């Protein structure tokens, strides 16, 4: 006797609607009128700056609704942080904004040092080297951001020029930390190792050459009729909306808010260095491009000042409770042995309390909120990601624009998914 079995095959539309969520609002595209089309962009797409999925609802070529879908690179960093000591988490910070890993490292250890109360005790050489790392990372990230922005708009040569310079930065970083990308260079209370011999000379050679590339990019893009037509007046983010959305960094400055954490709440040795903060006026994609161009030049100025002022001296706080003591002492003296043992097995003993520290990273304000209940691991570590906020502005910026404006707008916001998704 034959038996019939009923198979439950959900119909694709119902499955899509269920997948998009129960609430019939921004995400539910099942009620679109006849002329509109839903176009899926990403997550695997050459121009989305990582794994970003944009669900675009189009009326011909005009975008009527956008729903960004993030989380494709979510790795659970915050959950992982609750199970590791503060030092063990440093390699995870490399992978946040993976285009500027040194600046993530610096921001994170500054937050931990603020919690521990040793942020004012860093030796001057350590602070200068950290500023060099941050500014080198800024140049590297902006070179990539502008290169990809121009490439997405069609100017492929600019991408080649910027990546040639980035290769030179990678060579420098490899000499300094041992790795091109995943640097993990800073430690709580100091740095992993000192500058290698001859590194400052190599950096000077690089700084002399990179100005030429900035001028070449300038010549190719700033008064280029096609680039200006694609970016001027496109993606205007007004000042009050930029503040309300919580946008920071070059995107905020492009909209006319003169605010830079390095000037407003200076950290490390930024108060002793001279630099200017470029601010836009209109808040369109062209302004954000100009702000980043000028920020790179200011970073080179900062780097030269750091190299001139770099003092000699120790690079770690000389306190065995936070920094591993020198090995000869560990092997011969009791107190240093105990410090070494406690730091390696249990980690730095942080006091109970909470801190928030925000640093001016290339993408914006990268903040770490650490809630500690004492001991070597945080109770909660929240990473305040500037790219997360930049992507949240996309539904506002893209509405009513042409589909060809998606590339300049995404490129000008310059976000990176590693930082957004954590």
Partner 1 sequence: MTALDIAQQLQREFGALIASPVEFRGEVSVGVGDAEKMPAVCAFAKEQLGCDYLVDITSIDNHGEDPRFVVVYQLYSYGHRLRLRLKTAVSEEKGELPSVTSVWRAAEWLEREVYDMMGLRFRGHPDLRRILMWDGYPHFPLRKDFPLAGKPTDLPEIAFTQAAPEEGGPFVTVAGGQDSAEREPRVRGPKEPA
Residues of the shown chain interacting with partner 1 in the complex, contacts defined by CB under 8 A: 18-21, 23, 25-27, 70-71, 74, 76, 78-80, 83-84, 114-115, 117, 241, 243-246, 257, 259, 264-265, 344-346, 353-356, 358, 365, 367, 369, 371, 376, 379-380, 382, 384, 388-389, 392, 421
Query: In terms of Cα–Cα distance, which of 283, 279, 260 is closest to 270?
Result: 260
Name every residue whose Cβ is closer than 8 Å to that of residue 129 and which is 6 or more positions away in sequence: 191, 194, 195, 310, 315
Q: Cβ 313 to partner 1, closest distance in Å?
A: 26
Token pair for 261: 């954490």
Query: In terms of Cα–Cα distance, which of 381, 366, 335 is closest to 88?
Result: 381
Query: Which C-beta is closer to partner 1: that of 174 or that of 258?
Result: 258
Asked whether the beta carbons of 74 and 64 are under 8 A apart, the reply is no
Q: Cβ 246 to partner 1, closest distance in Å?
A: 3
Query: Which C-beta is closer to partner 1: that of 20 or that of 293?
Result: 20
Q: Cβ 346 to partner 1, closest distance in Å?
A: 5
Query: Which C-beta is closer to partner 1: that of 110 or that of 133?
Result: 110
In a 3-state reduction of DSSP, which class is residue 91? helix
Q: Cβ 324 to partner 1, closest distance in Å?
A: 14
Query: In terms of Cα–Cα distance, which of 350, 266, 338 is closest to 302?
Result: 266
Query: In terms of Cα–Cα distance, which of 49, 414, 402, 416 is closest to 230?
Result: 402
Burial bucket for residue 76 (CB in 10 Å: 0-12, 13-18, 19+): exposed
Q: Cβ 372 to partner 1, closest distance in Å?
A: 10
In a 3-state reduction of DSSP, which class is residue 61? coil
Query: Which C-beta is closer to partner 1: that of 81 or that of 153?
Result: 81
Interatomic CA distance for residues 87 and 376, integer angstroms: 9
Asked whether the beta carbons of 199 and 129 are under 8 A apart, the reply is no
Q: Cβ 58 to partner 1, closest distance in Å?
A: 20
Name every residue whose Cβ is closer than 8 Å to that of residue 116 and which is 6 or more positions away in sequence: 188, 189, 322, 348, 350, 351
Query: Which C-beta is closer to partner 1: that of 78 or that of 194?
Result: 78
Query: Which C-beta is closer to partner 1: that of 306 or that of 420?
Result: 420
Query: Which C-beta is closer to partner 1: that of 306 or that of 366?
Result: 366
Query: Which C-beta is closer to partner 1: that of 146 or that of 393?
Result: 393
Query: Which C-beta is closer to partner 1: that of 111 or that of 191?
Result: 111
> How is the beta sheet containing 37-41 ordered, strand by strand?
37-41, 53-59, 62-69
Phi and psi at 300, nearest 5°, equal: -65, -40
Q: Cβ 259 to partner 1, closest distance in Å?
A: 6
Interatomic CA distance for residues 186 and 35, integer angstroms: 55
Q: Cβ 219 to partner 1, closest distance in Å?
A: 36
Q: Cβ 21 to partner 1, closest distance in Å?
A: 4
Query: Which C-beta is closer to partner 1: that of 121 or that of 382?
Result: 382
Asked whether the beta carbons of 376 and 89 are under 8 A apart, the reply is no
Query: Vertex 280, ends 275 and 282: CA angle to 5°?
Result: 175
Query: Which C-beta is closer to partner 1: that of 27 or that of 202?
Result: 27
Q: Cβ 366 to partner 1, closest distance in Å?
A: 11
Interatomic CA distance for residues 330 and 390, integer angstroms: 47
Q: Are strands 53-59 and 62-69 parallel, antiparallel or unpaired?
A: antiparallel
Q: Cβ 352 to partner 1, closest distance in Å?
A: 9
């Amino acid at each position: 006797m034959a038996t019939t079995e009923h198979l439950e095959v959900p119909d694709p539309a119902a499955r899509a609607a269920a997948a998009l969520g129960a609430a019939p609002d921004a995400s539910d595209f099942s009620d679109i009128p006849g002329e509109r089309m839903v176009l899926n962009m990403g997550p695997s797409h050459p121009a989305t700056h990582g794994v970003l999925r944009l669900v675009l609802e189009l009326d011909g070529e005009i975008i009527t609704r956008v729903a960004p879908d993030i989380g494709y690179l979510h790795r659970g960093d915050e959950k992982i942080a609750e199970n590791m000591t503060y030092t063990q988490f440093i390699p995870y910070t490399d992978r946040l904004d993976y285009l500027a890993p040194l600046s993530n490292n610096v921001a994170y250890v500054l937050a931990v040092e603020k919690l521990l109360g040793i942020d004012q005790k860093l030796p001057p050489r350590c602070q200068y080297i950290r500023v060099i790392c941050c500014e080198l990372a800024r140049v590297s990230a902006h070179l990539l951001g502008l290169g990809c922005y121009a490439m997405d708009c069609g100017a492929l040569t600019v991408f080649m020029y910027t990546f040639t310079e980035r290769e030179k930065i990678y060579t420098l970083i490899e000499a300094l930390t041992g790795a091109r990308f995943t640097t993990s260079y800073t430690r709580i209370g100091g740095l992993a190792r000192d500058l290698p011999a001859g590194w400052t000379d190599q950096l000077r050679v690089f700084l002399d050459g990179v100005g030429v590339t900035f001028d070449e990019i300038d010549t190719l893009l700033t008064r280029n009729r096609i680039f200006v037509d694609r970016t001027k007046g496109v993606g205007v983010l007004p000042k009050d909306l930029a503040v309300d959305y919580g946008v920071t960094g070059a995107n905020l400055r492009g909209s006319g808010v003169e605010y830079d954490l390095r000037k407003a709440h200076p950290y490390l040795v930024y108060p002793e260095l001279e630099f200017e903060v470029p601010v836009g006026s209109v808040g369109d994609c062209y302004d954000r491009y100009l702000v980043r161009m000028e920020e790179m030049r200011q970073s080179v100025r900062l780097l030269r000042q750091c190299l001139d002022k770099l003092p000699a001296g120790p690079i770690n706080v000389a306190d065995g409770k936070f920094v591993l003591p020198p090995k000869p002492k560990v092997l011969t003296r009791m107190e240093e042995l105990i410090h070494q043992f406690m730091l390696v097995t249990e980690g730095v003993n942080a006091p109970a309390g909470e801190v928030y520290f925000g640093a001016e990273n290339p993408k914006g304000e990268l903040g770490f909120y650490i809630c500690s209940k004492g001991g070597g691991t945080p109770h909660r570590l929240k990473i305040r990601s500037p790219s997360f906020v930049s992507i949240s502005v996309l539904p506002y910026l893209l509405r009513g624009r042409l589909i060809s404006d998606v590339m300049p707008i995404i490129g000008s916001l310059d976000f990176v998914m590693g930082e957004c998704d954590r």
